[in-house]
Structure 1
Amino acid sequence: MHVRTSHLSSRPVRAAMLVLGMVAALLAAALPVAGPAHAAVPDRWGFAYLDNATPPPGYAPDPSRQWGSWASPSANPVKVDQIGLGSYVVHFPLIGGPGGIAHATAVNSVAHWCQIADWKTAGPGQDVYVNCYLPSGAPDNSTFTVLYTSSSGLPATPPGSYGYLNSDSSGTVLTQYNSAGSANAVSKGSTGIWKAWLPSLGLSSYAGDLQVTAVDPKQGARCKVSDWTPGTAGQTVIVACYDASSKPYDTEWTLSYSYLRAVHGPAFPPKSFGYLWFNGSLPALTNYNSSGATNTLGGSGAPFTVTMPSVAVPSDTAHATAYGPSADYCGLYRPWGRTSGSVGLYVACFDPGGAPVKTPFFAAYTSAF
């Protein structure tokens, strides 16, 4: 297993039936051979929402939408520097170290996507580099949410399950975590297609949440969950990635899976979190609210409105990932709202040309508390 500290290596729409064919072939293939387990959850983490697309140097974004596992986050906040058009570095204090993963989600009413370019230890902290793009693939300024999280060991009490992967473009696992102590693995399929195997996690039916983010420092790339097959032995996830012209593209990526856990890994605390998967319906065990309330889905897709009652507690964050065999992608239309204890997540999805589209997605929300 390769432990990731830092890297700067590189990374017309295919018809949906072609992608489905690739997925079918991968699902039929033998499961990939797993490497040693990188087996607490998580021991280092932070999240933030960049609320200013053109931040001044050393900008501290919205304090009600950032937090982390370091001492006194309110007095020692996350800061962001813009380093180019659509290019940012997010400074998480005092959580530096190897491994872990990062996710980013664009927050924009106009079609954009944001991806991870890199992450690395910087002194005592962790720097996460985020790049944002227009549908054309041109860099552009945008607001976004970002999280970094790293886990090791096994949880003392194991409600639910949690795991993550960071894979390079060839399917080599750079870093991974599995709360059951098993070893996650990846196998490479056709261009832009991978099969991730998360053994011993989840249930034999659809349960939990998935998030996927492209990692590419050189060009625009976006990734999504193309297919998902739960089983008694674990979760099989097909990851699909595309370049700016919506052609299948080989790039690095991160994936996380959580069942009865927050998007960055912990469970109880935080007391307030939830997730929802829309795949044309709302499978019961993929629609979770830690308060016991029922999440609901409204809107036409331009945007969707995901309402999660009784969990709105700042500081908090949210992420979204598209699902399905097309090159559509999803983000947040605007920052999540908080009303009378309820959270409203506004999920916007777009086709490759940037037109709003109603497509399946995963959405996740968590408070730090």
Structure 2
Amino acid sequence: MVDHSWSWLCPGCIPKITRTCLIKSSRSAVGNPPDQSIDQLLYLDIPFPNPRRSEMGIFRKLAGVCVAAALATAGLAAPAQAAVPDGHGFVLWNGAATVPGSTWPAATIVTPGGSGLYRIIFPGQAARGGVVHVTAVSGGPVWCQALRWGPSGADEVVYVRCYTVGGAPVDTPFSAVFASSSPPDGLAGRYGYVHSNPAGGIISQYNSSLLANSVTPLGPPGQYHVRLPGLGTFGPVDGSVQVTAADPNIGAHCEVAKWASNPGGQDVIVLCFDGVGTPFNTWFTLSYQYERSLFGSVAPPRFFGYLWNMPPPPTPNVGPPSTNFNSQLGPGTNTATASGLGLTLVSFRALAQRPDNVQVTAFGQAGEFCNLQAGWGYSGTTVLVRNVACYTPAGARVGSGSFTSYNSEF
């Protein structure tokens, strides 16, 4: 019997996945990017831990073996020809109903539970593990976070909750996405994700190179180093990142504080805060995409893009072409326009293809969080995200950096 009841949301429901084998990840020397101007833009006063050297080829093969073993331990057979992703779905909730043109599968159900709590059912998308990202859609300082998710029969059931400044739950429209993948992976581009607990233990992960991701607490509360080995790019920064707090008990939000790309993989520093802006150890999810959709797939979808708006000055401060990708027009073709303090209009030309989804994440070090001031719109084939709005922990608009990711189903 499929359990879609609210009783599924319980303090003991966080899935535990036992790692049955250890995989040495490939790491070339990471260091800091050599360009000092890039160093300054990336807040390099937070150092990355010193990397360890390890051999690459043999452990890439071992990773696939260990992932398959882990799947078998979890009661899932490793698929011979799995498609990435195994399951996914997204939804735009306008406060009263799902928005059909921005929801997939079309029969996705959102049920409000009061006090900012929502249950989402993605029909036919049941998959183990995976990650959830959620962005509040509000004219004020509101954020949303993932609580719990997992399969229920053939469906994927996701719980999210939304908060306002101070950590008080609040009802609000939102945009959410779920994705879960498993090997093999022969697609172009790079893709990976982690779902981490407060101690850095990985609950769920995926890496398109088949190596093992890692999450390392850095000592001070709320600081984590996420390493995605094997997803190498030229650097110093390539692709895009989304991060979402996933605390099941209290309001929290996370942001990207630092990010570096290199031929050995991706390194991301994540900072998390409680509802009043105090650094805070918490669960979180992180996804990395490089010339792939946020679901991990490509062609389809043929319509997706992302843009990094670096911290000001100037305002806006669009990142290099390698962080500004458009699947139809190529790198460097999306735009950002200042719409006021802490407000940025992001435009994705030639990508409008519904159903579709938008997610945003803050980039900074002071507890900033970002949301969507309103649902995205269209002008011909251009997607208009009006606006990405960013706030201080106290709720004042601020010119923070941000990541914006647009993804169509097709």
Q: TM-score range by the shorter chain?
A: 0.7 to 0.9
Is the aligned partner of 1:356 residue 2:397? yes
Do 2:368 and 2:392's aligned partners in 1 also have CA atoms closer than 8 Å? Answer: yes
Within 1, Cα distance between the matches of 2:206 and 2:125?
17
Using structure 1 for the length normalisation, give the TM-score.
0.87
Which letter maps to 1:230?
Answer: S
**1:10–1:216 Cα contact (<8 Å) kept:** no
Percentage identity across paired residues of the two chains: 36
Offset, 1:327: 0.8
Q: Shift of the alpha carbon at 1:326?
A: 1.4
- Aligned with 1:51 (options 75, 94, 97): 94
* Partner of residue 165, structure 1: 194
Q: Over residues 155-202 of structure 1, what are the superposed CA-to-partner deviations in whole Å (9 max), with x where a residue is unaligned?
A: 23x311100001100000111000111111111112101111101114
Equivalent residue, structure 2, for 1:258: 289
TM-score by length of 2: 0.79
Counterpart residue number, 1:17: none
Corresponding residue for residue 284 of structure 1: 321
The one-character-per-residue Cα deviations of 1:24-69 (angstroms, maximum 9, x if unpaired) are: 2xx13445999956473212100001111xx4xxx5x1110011xx
In 2, are the aligned partners of 1:275 and 1:363 still within 8 Å (CA)? yes
Deviation, 1:274, is: 0.5
**What residue number does 2:151 align with?**
121
Of 237-246 and 276-285, deviating more is 276-285
* Matches of 2:216 and 2:183, distance apart in 1: 24
Tell me the secondary structure at the aligned position of residue 374 of structure 2: strand
Matched, 1:234 2:265: yes
Question: For the Cα contact (< 8 Å) 2:91–2:177, is it kept in 1?
Answer: yes
Runs of 4+ in 1 over 6 A off after TM superposition: 32-35
Residue identity in the other structure for 2:302: K
Deviations 1:112-140 (A, max 9, x none): 00000111222221111110011121111
2:322 counterpart SS class = helix
Query: Which protein has the larger Cα radius of gyration, Structure 1 or Structure 2?
Result: 2
- Counterpart among 29, 40, 46 of residue 23 in structure 1: 46
Alignment of 1:69-84 (within 5 A): 73-74=105-106, 77-84=107-114
3-state SS of 2:169 partner: coil
Q: Which residue in 2 is equivalent to 1:147?
A: 177
Say which structure is richer in strand.
1
**Distance in 1 separating the partners of 2:249 and 2:383:** 36
C-alpha separation in 2, matches of 1:349 and 1:118: 25
* Alignment partners' CA distance in 2, 1:330 and 1:204: 28
Q: Pick from 348, 353, 356 the counterpart of residue 308 of structure 1.
A: 348
Return the alpha-carbon distance in structure 2 between the equivalents of residues 87 and 7 of structure 1.
Answer: 13
Select which of 369, 373, 379 maps to 1:339.
Answer: 379
1:215 corresponds to which of 206, 228, 246: 246
Alignment pair present for 1:368 and 2:409: yes
Matched, 1:133 2:169: no
What is the count of residue pairs matched by the alignment? Answer: 343
- Check conservation: 1:337, 1:343, Cα contact below 8 A: yes
Please, which of 313, 321, 342 is the counterpart of residue 361 of structure 2?
321
**Could you give the per-residue CA deviations for residues 223-266 of structure 1, whole angstroms, max 9, x where no partner exists?**
11111111110011111100011011011000000000011111
Amino acid aligned to 2:111: D
Q: Work out the CA distance in 2 between the residues paired with 1:213 and 1:97.
A: 19
SS at match of 2:199: coil
Q: Kindly tell me: are residues 105 and 202 of structure 1, through their superposed partners in 2, closer, same or farther at Cα, counting changes over 3 Å?
A: farther
Matched, 1:100 2:137: no
DSSP 3-state at the match of 1:285:
helix
What does residue range 165-204 of structure 1 map to in structure 2 within 5 Å? 165-189=194-218, 190-204=220-234
| Whole-Å separation in 1 of the counterparts to 2:53 and 2:100 | 42
2:255·2:362 contact (CA, 8 Å) conserved in 1? yes
User: Kindly tell me: are residues 302 and 229 of structure 1, through their superposed partners in 2, closer, same or farther at Cα, counting changes over 3 Å?
Assistant: closer
- Taking a change above 3 Å as real, the CA distance of residues 136 and 216 of structure 1, as seen in their structure-2 partners, is same
Amino acid at match of 2:49: A
- Return the offset for 1:307: 0.6
The CA deviation at 1:97 is 2.9
**1:335 is paired with a residue of what secondary structure?**
coil
1:266 & 1:82 partners in 2: Cα distance?
30
CA RMSD after TM alignment: 2.5
- Number of the residue aligned with 1:16: none
Counterpart amino acid of 1:243?
Answer: D
Q: What does 1:7-18 align with in structure 2 at a 5 Å threshold?
A: 8=11
